[in-house]
Chain A
């Protein structure tokens, strides 16, 4: 099993692209993505190919090789869940420009079950598995029950906000514990026992993400959202009368839009950062630190 898998997905044209009569320069065959450079000169190679573990064609539903939400989950989510149940930590990142469809792939459309993204599908299947396993247990005692805890946070401009407790306006501190590792102080961890619970929390979290965005004029595209599931599985061994615990963490991350954010320097595409002069004296510290790195 390779520890890192990379998948790429292409979405249908949006209305603006359709209006502008956009041309699709992406093609996918098997797991290879082909991109055509329409401005290629006669000596340049017009079509470049890129190998990925998965190349998902979600451009046109009419195409035979159209990749559905279900298919993406089957390839990526099923294994992730399996590894988590075995006790490994797994992490799924979605990366791309604003509007590329990251949130659609990770969350999907809550109102339409067929368009559920990786996170809801994974949660649903997690509970199906856990319920199934506890049903199998002959002596299903309370000590055997697995515990599922979720947390949902948003990171914007190096500030962390708890999406499951939006009333807590304070910026949460990130601390490093020598044995437990880095953690976010006071981040709510909610225990959930079924899929509906988790679904409600996800909805609430998503809404407070939008609300937070409007209040401070940030947009969801400029912040990272991290949805964590901590799974504690307890297994009772009747022979030794001991109960073992296996803890694994599933991290599902919807990263901020990868394009340059704005000219105030909040983020910066690396190329731009090199050229631009920072106008605000609040960045003096950054300029000085940059000196020491040279």
Chain B
């Protein structure tokens, strides 16, 4: 189209161009003048506004006086002027938002909404029965398409402003209006191949691409003001607004839409996209939506399927997400089995969140429905194991210590959930042993000084694993005794060795909380979060000690004394510290009973070995 290039217009474009660039460079402002560029940009925007206003007055006079047909369609010119004015005012308002004057910015934006603004057609001509916007004719459609970007821009900024003022519900409404405006524009574009939506370069030609500037920088600026990229922002802002409004499910949905959008516009770095997609699966795991989590992970794996070595870290991260997925699914399966419930979701719930990504080879390698028997659980477990191996390959102990440790713990956890489905006690024992071995190996490799918290967690889990293993061994011995058989000394020795190891682990755990020498005792008051673990460790240590089938009387008596001492320690601590009593309430009754029974136990041992 031909536009009337007058001196004010060139000035205007120059002002806009400079203002845009100033705002772009505001990150470089000195720290004692952080808004320097933005304040300058503000001045330029105000100047630009006065030029456009002046233009408006003079052309109003012109039109009345002349009805000039040599210049472009006056209605077109007037529409463009109104849009320019609107765009500049929105930009100015956003400037206030970015310089910590949120209320002022918000006030300006709402003023634009309320102004008697024929431009904005905010009532959009009504809808027909199907909800489709009725557009009278192609000239209305064109008008709408010229305004679309500015409208979306306005609603986007209103959304940001409201969030800033902690009015999240309002923010969501505005952003949804932005979304609706975009979708209407898209429908109009679809209806007419020759139609085009305006962007910044239509309003201010060459503001975005001045001759002397580098192509890349210019096109980046242009892109950021186009209708399509504004919509991407709408989706992203909605994801955030829903998050702040405590609507995580909606937030997740919009994160997923943003991800899809990035794919559609080819506007993403593959590795980052894949990692983000995998991360989204973790949210769905949290709400036990395995189908959606599965879909995210499949898409992530497919996107990261590139032998490029730089992506190793990302592939390892995605593997880690798969591991968490498998463990969560196993745990859920176990919960259902224990409570004899059924998962009522069906195949139909598996929607394709990322239709443009090929499902790839992962879709059939692991389920997204819970396992109901050992075979199914084992399949999930093996899948997890493959990813564990792959992830551990990257997250090696000597470089990524905590990541590696987390993976080992996940491996142990995977075994734990799997063995809930295993009925044969020998096989269960073997799985517990695998767990114990890997946890013990990890512990031996870590510095207790630098990884204190991690060591404590591992050691406690090791203790629990050994207790589980001991339980199996002891019940085997007991059933042998009940059947009239004498248990083999080797079996008894084995059980005792496991038990003593368990006691050692729990004791070492408690030791890690002791004050440094010379005091070397537990502090009078433990930290709140440490209380239950420490007292529980004392409790477990006591219980195991009391149960050990030691063949010697003296050993048994010593064990009972040790158990008693531990029980008393816990009991006394709970008396002294009431919060501890409430935290240990499930175990306290048992402790009281144990202490009461102690004399009987001692007598039993005396009698047995008499």
Chain A residues at the B interface, C-beta cutoff of 8 Å: 98, 175-182, 217, 219, 221-222, 257, 261-264, 274-279, 281, 284-285, 287-292, 294
User: Across the interface, do A287 and B447 meet the contact criterion of CB distance under 8 Å?
Assistant: no
User: Across the interface, do A182 and B450 meet the contact criterion of CB distance under 8 Å?
Assistant: yes
Interface of B (DSSP majority class): helix
A4 to B243, CA, bound (A): 38
Offer 11 A-B interface pairs, CB within 8 angstroms, sorted by A. A177-B401, A275-B166, A277-B160, A277-B163, A278-B240, A281-B232, A281-B233, A289-B279, A291-B280, A291-B283, A292-B283
A175 to B160, CA, bound (A): 39
Write the nearest CB–CB distance from A134 to chain B, whole angstroms.
29
User: Across the interface, do B239 and A287 meet the contact criterion of CB distance under 8 Å?
Assistant: yes
Residue in A219, A277, A285, A288 whose beta carbon sits within 8 Å of that of B164 in the complex: A277
A285 to B283, CA, bound (A): 12
Residue in B27, B283, B447 whose beta carbon sits within 8 Å of that of A178 in the complex: B447
Chain B residues at the A interface, C-beta cutoff of 8 Å: 26-31, 34, 98, 159-160, 163-166, 232-233, 236-237, 239-241, 243-244, 248, 251-252, 255, 258-259, 262, 272, 275-276, 279-280, 282-283, 285-286, 397-402, 445-447, 449-451
Return the chain A residue nearest B269 by Cβ. Answer: A282
A290 to B258, CA, bound (A): 15
User: Across the interface, do B272 and A285 meet the contact criterion of CB distance under 8 Å?
Assistant: yes
Other A-B contacts than A179-B450, A180-B447, A291-B248, 8 sampled, CB-CB below 8 A, are A178-B398, A181-B447, A277-B237, A281-B236, A287-B251, A292-B279, A294-B248, A294-B283
Tell me how many residue pairs across A and B have CB atoms closer than 8 Å: 106
Residue in A179, A217, A289 whose beta carbon sits within 8 Å of that of B447 in the complex: A179
User: Across the interface, do A276 and B164 meet the contact criterion of CB distance under 8 Å?
Assistant: yes
Return the chain B residue nearest A274 by Cβ. Answer: B244
Q: Which 5 A-B pairs have the closest CB atoms?
A: A181-B450, A176-B401, A292-B282, A291-B283, A219-B31
Write the nearest CB–CB distance from B401 to chain A, whole angstroms.
4
Return the chain B residue nearest A275 by Cβ. Answer: B164
Write the nearest CB–CB distance from A85 to chain B, whole angstroms.
18
User: Across the interface, do B279 and A263 meet the contact criterion of CB distance under 8 Å?
Assistant: no
A219 to B33, CA, bound (A): 12
User: Across the interface, do B397 and A285 meet the contact criterion of CB distance under 8 Å?
Assistant: no
User: Across the interface, do A284 and B34 meet the contact criterion of CB distance under 8 Å?
Assistant: no
Given contacts A181-B447, A285-B279, contact A276 B272 (CB under 8 A): no
- By a CB distance below 8 angstroms, the chain B residues around A257 are 31
- By a CB distance below 8 angstroms, the chain A residues around B26 are 263
- By a CB distance below 8 angstroms, the chain A residues around B447 are 178-181
User: Across the interface, do B279 and A288 meet the contact criterion of CB distance under 8 Å?
Assistant: yes
- By a CB distance below 8 angstroms, the chain A residues around B28 are 217
Return the chain A residue nearest B261 by Cβ. Answer: A281
Write the nearest CB–CB distance from A178 to chain B, whole angstroms.
5
User: Across the interface, do B401 and A288 meet the contact criterion of CB distance under 8 Å?
Assistant: no
Given contacts A277-B240, A281-B232, A284-B276, contact A291 B255 (CB under 8 A): yes
Write the nearest CB–CB distance from A25 to chain B, whole angstroms.
22
User: Across the interface, do A175 and B239 meet the contact criterion of CB distance under 8 Å?
Assistant: no
A274 to B259, CA, bound (A): 23
- By a CB distance below 8 angstroms, the chain A residues around B241 are 277
User: Across the interface, do B449 and A176 meet the contact criterion of CB distance under 8 Å?
Assistant: no
- By a CB distance below 8 angstroms, the chain A residues around B275 are 285
Write the nearest CB–CB distance from A100 to chain B, whole angstroms.
13
Write the nearest CB–CB distance from A213 to chain B, whole angstroms.
10
Residue in B31, B160, B258, B286 whose beta carbon sits within 8 Å of that of A222 in the complex: B31
Write the nearest CB–CB distance from B327 to chain A, whole angstroms.
15
- By a CB distance below 8 angstroms, the chain A residues around B236 are 281, 284, 287
- By a CB distance below 8 angstroms, the chain A residues around B163 are 275-277
- By a CB distance below 8 angstroms, the chain B residues around A217 are 27-28
Write the nearest CB–CB distance from A154 to chain B, whole angstroms.
16
A263 to B165, CA, bound (A): 16
Write the nearest CB–CB distance from B372 to chain A, whole angstroms.
27
Given contacts A98-B31, A178-B401, A181-B447, contact A290 B243 (CB under 8 A): yes
User: Across the interface, do A178 and B397 meet the contact criterion of CB distance under 8 Å?
Assistant: yes
User: Across the interface, do A287 and B244 meet the contact criterion of CB distance under 8 Å?
Assistant: no
Given contacts A178-B446, A222-B31, A276-B164, contact A292 B286 (CB under 8 A): yes
A181 to B447, CA, bound (A): 7
Given contacts A217-B28, A291-B251, contact A177 B398 (CB under 8 A): yes
Write the nearest CB–CB distance from B159 to chain A, whole angstroms.
7
User: Across the interface, do B276 and A175 meet the contact criterion of CB distance under 8 Å?
Assistant: no
Write the nearest CB–CB distance from B593 to chain A, whole angstroms.
40
- By a CB distance below 8 angstroms, the chain A residues around B233 are 279, 281
- By a CB distance below 8 angstroms, the chain B residues around A289 are 279
- By a CB distance below 8 angstroms, the chain A residues around B255 are 284, 287-288, 291
- By a CB distance below 8 angstroms, the chain A residues around B262 are 281
Write the nearest CB–CB distance from B200 to chain A, whole angstroms.
16
Given contacts A277-B241, A279-B233, A284-B255, contact A181 B283 (CB under 8 A): no
A175 to B236, CA, bound (A): 33
Given contacts A219-B31, A287-B239, A291-B252, contact A178 B445 (CB under 8 A): yes
A176 to B207, CA, bound (A): 50
Return the chain B residue nearest A289 by Cβ. Answer: B279
A179 to B98, CA, bound (A): 47
